[in-house]
C-alpha cells in the first residue's frame, strides 16, 4: 500500500512539472480560420479573349455570296463582383455570385459586314464549393448578358456592298457561363479570388441597309463567346 501511494504521488508530481514546463513556452498562434459565410464584395481585373461568330445573309442575293466570319479580340477589363456563401454540409458551401466587367471600346470585333462592340459583360452564377484550411475551391454556372452594338465603320466596304457608317444597332445577347475558381483567405475576412469563366451567348439577328446593284438589305446572325481569367481582392461584409 505504501509503494502504491508513493507511485501515485510521483505520477501527480511528474504531470505537474510537465504542465509547468509547457506553460513556460508561448503557444503558436492559430492560422486564420475562414468561415466563408455571408455576403462579400470585391474588385480586381480580368483578361478576356472574346470571339464574334457571324453568318451573313443578303436579300436580294444578286452578286453577293453568304459567308461565315469569326474574329477574336483580347482585352483587359476592370471587374466588380458581389457574392454570398452559406453552409451546406460539413465543409461544403453553396452560394451565388454576380460578376461585372467593363470592356469599353477595347472589345471591337469584325462581323461579316460591320463591327461588333461589347462594352459590358454581366454573369450571374450559382456556386458550390469545398472549404479548406485557408480557403475554398468552387464551381459555378448561370446566365450571362452581353449588350452588343453592331455598327458600320467609316462606310465599311465588304464584298460587293457598302454599309453606311451611320448604321448602328444595339441588342442584348443572352447566354450561359460556367466558372471554376479558388479563394485564398489572407485574414478571417479578406481573401483573393482567382477564377476562369467560359461564356457562350445565343445568336441574334442584326439588320442593316446596304448598297448593291439590286438594292436591298443585309442581315447577319451574331453570337459571342468569351474566356476570362480574373483576379480580385474581396472582403466578407
pLDDT of residue 51: 92
* Per-residue pLDDT tens over the stretch 150-194: 876 544 545 555 555 566 788 899 999 999 999 999 998 899 999
CA quadruple 48, 53, 59, 60: dihedral positive or negative?
A: positive
Q: Would you state the pLDDT for residue 134?
A: 86
For residue 219, what pLDDT is reported? 75
pTM over 0.85: no
So what CATH class is 37-236?
mainly beta
- Taking the C-alpha atoms of residue 105 and residue 119, their distance in angstroms, rounded to an integer, is 6
pLDDT at 17 over 50: no
Measured distance CA(71)–CA(4) in Å, rounded: 89
| pLDDT tens-place string over residues 129-149 | 998 888 899 999 999 999 988
Q: What is the pLDDT of residue 132?
A: 86
User: Which pLDDT belongs to residue 163?
Assistant: 57
Q: Where are the domains of the chain?
A: 37-236
Q: Please tell me the distance from the alpha carbon of residue 48 to that of residue 90, in angstroms, as a whole number.
A: 35
For the residues 218-225, what does the mean pLDDT come to? 84
Q: Is 122 left (phi over 0), alpha (psi -120 to 50) or beta?
A: beta
Amino acid at each position: 500500500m505504501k509503494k502504491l501511494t508513493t507511485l501515485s504521488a510521483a505520477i501527480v508530481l511528474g504531470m505537474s512539472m510537465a504542465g509547468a514546463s509547457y506553460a513556460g513556452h508561448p503557444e503558436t498562434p492559430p492560422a486564420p480560420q475562414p468561415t466563408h459565410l455571408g455576403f462579400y464584395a470585391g474588385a480586381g481585373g480580368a483578361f478576356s479573349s472574346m470571339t464574334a461568330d457571324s453568318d451573313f445573309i443578303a436579300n436580294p442575293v444578286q452578286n453577293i455570296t453568304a459567308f461565315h466570319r469569326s474574329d477574336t479580340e483580347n482585352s483587359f477589363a476592370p471587374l466588380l463582383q458581389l457574392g454570398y456563401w452559406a453552409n451546406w454540409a460539413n465543409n461544403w458551401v453553396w452560394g451565388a455570385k454576380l460578376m461585372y466587367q467593363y470592356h469599353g471600346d477595347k472589345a471591337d470585333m469584325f462581323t461579316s459586314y460591320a463591327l461588333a462592340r461589347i462594352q459590358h459583360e454581366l454573369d450571374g452564377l450559382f456556386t458550390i464549393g469545398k472549404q479548406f484550411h485557408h480557403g475554398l475551391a468552387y464551381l459555378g454556372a448561370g446566365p450571362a448578358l452581353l449588350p452588343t452594338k453592331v455598327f458600320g465603320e467609316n462606310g465599311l466596304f465588304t464584298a460587293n456592298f457598302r454599309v453606311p457608317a451611320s448604321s448602328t444597332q444595339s441588342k442584348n445577347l443572352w447566354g450561359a457561363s460556367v466558372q471554376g475558381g479558388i479563394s485564398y483567405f489572407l485574414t478571417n475576412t479578406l481573401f483573393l479570388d482567382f477564377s476562369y469563366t467560359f461564356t457562350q451567348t445565343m445568336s441574334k439577328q442584326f439588320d442593316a441597309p446596304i448598297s448593291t446593284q439590286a438594292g436591298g438589305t443585309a442581315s447577319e446572325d451574331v453570337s459571342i463567346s468569351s474566356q476570362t481569367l480574373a483576379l480580385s481582392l474581396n472582403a466578407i461584409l
